[in-house]
Amino acid sequence: MIDFDEELKKYQPIPETGDVEEIVYNKELTDMTDIMKEMLKESKNKRQ
Amino acid sequence: MLTDAPVCPNCGEDITIYRRIIWISNTHYNEGLERARVRDLSGAIESLTKSLKYNKRNIDARNLLGLVYYELGRVGEALSEWIISANIDPEANAAAGYMKELQNDRDGFERLNQEVKKYNQSLKYLQSDNDDLAILQLRKAVSANTKLVEVYQLLGLIMLKNQQRAAAKQCFQKAFRIDKGNIRTQKYIAAMRSHDSKAADTKQSEPAETGDSISYTQGNDTIIQPTPHTFRDSSALPAIINILIGIAVGAAIIWFLVVPARIQSIKEQANSSTLSYSDDLSSKDAQIDNLNKQLETAQNDVQTAQSASNTSAAVIANYEQLLTMNSEYTSGSYDSVTIAKTLASIDRSALSTEGQALYDKLKDNVSSKAVASLYTSGKKSYTNKNYADAVSTLESAEAIDDTYGSGELLYYLAMSYEGAGNTDKAKTTYQQIISTYAGTDIATEAQTKLTALSGTQ
């Protein structure tokens, strides 16, 4: 059976429109292409 | 611009891995798009987020992610995705159009934000055990037809806690219609189904009595047990008796439970009405008292004003008479008796200092002459035994100066009273002479007359 108190703990507040600036600022935007570029850069440096 | 070649045309680097990454990102985007189309919005978010982890510049994936958030009522997160998208690629970006639409629909935008606030507030209420207030906030959001899945899930959970299973089920179904891929909703629905199924199994396993046997399920076995035979009377009489007993019991319940409660209710209503009327009555009494007091005050004011008016009128009349008499006196052709009589009727104390001086001057000039004239006339009437005229004339003279003739005036007045048959006034006047002029001849004569008058009675 569903445990109300346990389930309640899983709910989190939803960001409001006033929080948009904070969301954008704190967004982790590193992607695989960034990682790949970094790796290429490092391997280039090692070769040199 | 990349070509089909495995190396970059600008720097000559191997771009095979890069191409692979872009391909994976696009694959996840396509998956997200498919999921969004079948309203698996949670699944779409998962796929699109993965797509952006591979390639953050995948504008379509980011814009679609914003749209999915918007569809779920999460306007803050939708906006943040579109802002990032517009920053990555400012030209020909659909995100700018979405944001412009939001800006144009301020009411809709504010409504969505209010729904989020209501959800967040209800969460706070629940954490502080204020379930009722939380329900209130959530119901407001539901009545605004919110698309926030969390609102329906949370309301459903509270309903479930309060044993309102049908309402809870409706909430979860609504949440499912908005987002078919939400794991939490699916879990709740599955839990409810499981519970319902168990309840149904328990019901089925209860012994079912059919005819001559009782059957029940125990595990996979169905046990059929014969029931002991009972005597059944096929005649209608017991049934009728049972019905009559039932009616009697029902009537007794109504009489002993329902009727007293109803009577009590009516009494309470009557008491309440009486109290209400009593309050009204007290209020009205107070108003009447207050109005009576106001009326009394007003009447007093009127009387005071009337009295003041009368006093003023009397004072004016006094002055008018005084001035008339003065005018007559100064003209030379005046009747001293008339002036003296008029002065006697004027209230000297009501006059001003100047008025009193004029009054005294006139009185000094005319009173002795007038009294002498009246005294002579009155004495003559007495001698002629015209006692009524004598009384009238001598009373006028007394009113001007009752000391005239050192008691002579009063003596003739007393005798005139006696002659007119007014014994009481005659006695009073004789007594006045005796006390005022004690030891004089006139007092002795008055005493003689008084003795004689008393002796005759």
DSSP codes, B49-77: HHHHHH-TT-HHHHHHHHHHHHHTT-HHH
Nearest Cβ partner of B21 from A2, A15, A32? A32
This complex has an ipTM of 0.91
**A14 interfaces chain B, CB cutoff of 8 Å:** yes
Note the Cα B384 to chain centre separation in Å: 90
Chain B residues with CB under 8 Å of A43 CB are none
The tokens for B224 are 């059929």
Q: Residue B126: pLDDT above 60?
A: yes
SS3 B14: strand
CA–CA distance, B263 with B260 (Å, rounded to integer)? 5
CA-to-CA separations, B365 to A36, B345, B362, in angstroms, rounded: 144, 17, 5
CA–CA distance, A27 with B83 (Å, rounded to integer)? 12
| Cβ-based neighbour number of residue B59 at 10 Å | 20
Q: Are B375 and B412 contacting, i.e. CB atoms less than 8 angstroms apart? A: yes
CA–CA distance, A2 with B300 (Å, rounded to integer)? 84
**A19 interfaces chain B, CB cutoff of 8 Å:** yes
Average pLDDT over residues B87-107: 92
Q: Are B367 and B401 contacting, i.e. CB atoms less than 8 angstroms apart? A: yes
pLDDT tens profile B194-252: 888 888 877 665 555 555 554 445 444 555 555 544 445 556 787 888 888 888 888 88
Exposure string of B69-104, with b = 16+ CB inside 10 Å and e = fewer, is bbbbbbbbbbbbbbbbbbeeeeeebbbbebbeebee
Q: Which of B80, B109, B119, B187 to mutate to test the interface with A (most CBs of A within 10 A)?
A: B80
Q: Are B63 and B95 contacting, i.e. CB atoms less than 8 angstroms apart? A: yes
Predicted confidence at residue B224, as pLDDT, reads 55
Nearest Cβ partner of B21 from A8, A29, A36? A36
Nearest Cβ partner of B52 from A1, A18, A31? A31
pLDDT tens profile A12-48: 999 999 999 999 999 989 999 899 888 888 888 888 7
Query: What pTM, to 2 d.p., does this model score?
Result: 0.51
DSSP result, B368-424: HHHHHHHHHHHHHHHHTT-HHHHHHHHHHHHHH-TTGGGGHHHHHHHHHHHHHT-HH
pLDDT tens profile B341-361: 888 888 888 888 888 888 888
pLDDT tens profile B383-428: 999 999 999 999 988 888 888 888 899 999 999 999 999 999 999 9
CA–CA distance, B427 with B450 (Å, rounded to integer)? 6
Chain B: closest CA distance from residue A3 (Å): 9
Determine, for residues B127 and A13 on separate chains, whether the beta-carbon distance falls below 8 Å: no
